[in-house]
Structure 1
């Protein structure tokens, strides 16, 4: 199982973190190792190697078929469920790595940096490109988005990624975060929602 993630896939998020950079012309892809997965409501422990860990709430897609060089018009056949996930980012490390022109996988791929919620079959939604999702922290909404605002829709991302690496059953696709990212602190209670259904619930320690 591999975790494929998309950066800079919502215009307003691009502006909040990369205001001086143009919008990407193709999907920005990075990977997380399987050791990054945090599931079953287990707590997230802030690591001691950074001073700021930010939440990035995302729609996550579960790959259900083996595929390579998938045509965009057939991509919908290759996933079966969606949920809410959190792409945790060691933001201070990311800023330093970027300023030094170094790869920044370590600030994204550390242990437990990919929280994942409960799966909902994709057929329960009219279209994957019009799903509302949000994150509440301590009972207050802090981030929300709709997949209709993606720069690159899910099927296009799948077609793009499958040119480079074979998609396998159980692979996870984190599809990017909207505007509103921010830091977590010890004691926070995080709840993630698809439409009005809570699918993610865990604590920060």
Structure 2
């Protein structure tokens, strides 16, 4: 597993995803974070346990970037990012809905163990190269999500600058950059595959416990 310092996540960064959950499309990046304990296993064909006793668990596939060193004003994404992976931002959707009603933070719904499953990181080819390739999620052999970083509301450079300004950004930090439309409910025994273009970067089976 690549060393991880902080896990920053971007909400509602694809317009169609915001609309499918009846959320307003944001006018500035909306960040939340997960504990590092959320990302303790890599998707390498094993079974990964998720909470099965707190209502629906939803999957959200995302493009994830790894930061190589501390951000300084004017730095570009191509200079800062040294690796990329695909990840699942798992969400306890029923728990999140109740927290929203009460105006409470989302940590219970977003920060549980194994809520940030990642594929192994691969070398970052640069933003232009990434724009040429879609990422996708297959469950039980069927594609359920597909996205491209060119569809983001806020591009990687904007996310990096916003995160650095408001929270700091340094070596080992990772950014989950938002999920495209197609999120849905996890069932016990679902087989997940995360693909970069036609290349499978990671696979696992979900076990609801």
**Alignment TM-score > 0.5, same fold:** yes
Q: How does 1:91-110 map to 2 (within 5 A)?
A: 91-110=93-112
Aligned to 1:2: 6
How far did residue 80 of structure 1 move?
A: 1.2
Match of 1:156 in 2: 158
C-alpha distance in structure 1 between counterparts of 2:19 and 2:43, whole Å: 33
**Structure 2 residue corresponding to 1:61, chosen from 44, 54, 65:** 65
1:49-80 CA deviation, whole Å, 9 max, x = no partner? 41210000000001111225x33x62321101
Query: Which residue of 2 is the match for residue 30 of structure 1?
Result: 32
State which of 29, 39, 42 in structure 2 corresponds to 1:39.
42
1:172 maps to which of 171, 174, 177: 174
Structure 1 residue 199 corresponds to structure 2 residue 201: yes
Distance 1:193 1:125, change over 3 A: farther
TM-superposed CA distance for 1:130, in Å, is 4.0
TM-score, length basis structure 2: 0.90
Deviating 4+ runs (over 4 angstroms): none
Q: Pairwise CA RMSD of aligned residues?
A: 1.6
**Cα offset, 1:129, TM superposition:** 3.7
1:26: how far off?
0.7
Question: What is the deviation of 1:199?
Answer: 0.5
Deviations 1:82-121 (A, max 9, x none): 1110000000000111112111121001111000002221
Question: How far apart, in 2, do the equivalents of 1:124 and 1:13 lie?
Answer: 25
What SS is found at the alignment partner of 2:47?
coil
Deviation of 1:48 after TM superposition, in Å, equals: 4.1
How many residues are aligned here? 201
Distance 1:119 1:6 in 2: 19
Single out whichever of 8-17 and 33-42 deviates more from structure 2: 33-42
Distance in 1 (CA, whole Å) between partners of 2:29 and 2:81 is 18
2:50/2:114 contact within 8 Å kept: no
Q: Distance in 2 between matches of 1:160 and 1:131?
A: 25
- Bigger CA drift: 116-125 or 195-204? 116-125
